[in-house]
Amino acid sequence: MNKNTVIYIAGHKGMVGSAIWRSLTAKGYTNLIGASSKELDLRDQKAVREFIQNTKPDIIIDAAAKVGGILANNDFPYQFLMENMQIQNNLISEAHSLDVEKFIFLGSSCIYPKLAPQPLKEDYLLTASLEKTNEWYALAKITGVKLCEAIRKQYNKDFVSLMPTNLYGIHDNFDLTSSHVLPAMIRKFHEAKESNNAPVILWGTGTPMREFLFVDDMAEAVVFALENELPEHLYNIGTGEDLTIKELAATIQKIVGHTGNIIWDESKPDGTPRKLMDVSKMHSIGWKHQVTLEEGIQKTYNWFLENIESLKENSY
C-alpha cells in the first residue's frame, strides 16, 4: 500500500462511498476513482469489465447497492434481489478475473437471522430465518459475503466483507417516506421547532433498542481493512453499544433544540426488540469507533442545516 495505489470506490456518491472518499483523501491517497450511475451501469457486466480494464484499480471497495425501506423491499422484491446480485457479482467476478489485489465488500446487519441471539456474532450467519421485510436485500448481500469467502478460500485472495450496523451522517437521506429512524427524527424535530415547538409524533412505544454508527467511523473501518490484511473474511462494524428509541429521541430533541412534547403513537409497530452487533473481532485486531452518538448527531444536524435549501429542492 502506498498513497498512489489506485482505489476504485463503487458507489462513491452515496453516504458511505463519499465518506470513504473523504477519509482516503484526508490521509493523502491521490489515485481515487469513481463513476456515477450515469457513467457506469454496474448491472452491466461488459461495462464493468471494460471500466476495470481501462482504469486498472489495485483495490476495489464495493459501497454500491440498490437500497430502500420496508415498503420498497416489499413492493420490488425481484429488483432488490436481482439488481443487488448483478452489481456485486459483476464487481467481484471482474475483480477476480482481472487480478485486482484487494476487494472490500460492504453489506448490512440484516444478513443475520431475525431472531438471532444478541449481540449478533459473525458466526450466526445462515443459522436461521431472515427478517421477511428485507430478506431480498439480505439474500443478495449474503451471496456477496459467500462469494468473497469462496474466492479467499479457493484462490487465497484478499477479499473481505464488512457488515455495518445502522449508519447515519453527512449526505444522509432525510426524506420521511424512505429515510431511516435517526435522520427522520432530525428532520421531524427541526420542522417542529420551526413551527413554534409543535409536538412531534413518533411511532411505537420507544422501547426497542438500536445501535448507530457515524458514517465517518465506517469509512475509517474500511481504510483500516484497506491498509491491513485481515485474518478472516467477515467482520461486523459497529459501536457495540445501543440505546432505546426513546433515549435516541431525547438526545436528538436536545441537540436540535426542540422544546415541545413528544407523542408516542403506540398503535404503530415497534419492529425488532433489539439489534446489536458483536464487534469484538474488529476490536481484537485494532479498530474501534471514535465518534460518540452525540458528536455524530450534532455533525449530522449541522450538515442538514447547511444543506437544507438544496434538500428541500429535492423534497429532502
From the list 8, 29, 112, 137, the catalytic residue is: 137
Closest CA to 17 of 61, 75, 52, 66: 61
Binding site annotation covers 164?
A: yes
Phi-psi region of 196 (alpha: psi -120 to 50; beta: other; left: phi over 0): left
Binding site annotation covers 296?
A: no
* Contact between residue 47 and residue 41 where contact means Cβ atoms under 8 Å apart: yes
Binding site annotation covers 169?
A: no
Binding site annotation covers 274?
A: no
Binding site annotation covers 15?
A: yes
Binding site annotation covers 206?
A: no
Element (H, E) at 219: helix 215-227
| Annotated catalytic residue 124 | no
DSSP code at position 247: H
Judging by DSSP bridges, how do beta strands 166-168 and 102-106 pair with one another? unpaired
Binding site annotation covers 300?
A: no
Binding site annotation covers 270?
A: yes
Binding site annotation covers 260?
A: no
For the chain, how are helix, strand and coil distributed in percent, rounded to 5? 45, 15, 40
* Contact between residue 124 and residue 117 where contact means Cβ atoms under 8 Å apart: yes
Residues flagged as binding site: 11-17, 106-109, 141, 164-167, 180, 188, 203, 210, 270
Residues flagged as binding site for substrate: 188, 203, 210, 270
Residues designated as active site: 137
Residues flagged as binding site for NADP(+): 11-17, 106-109, 141, 164-167, 180
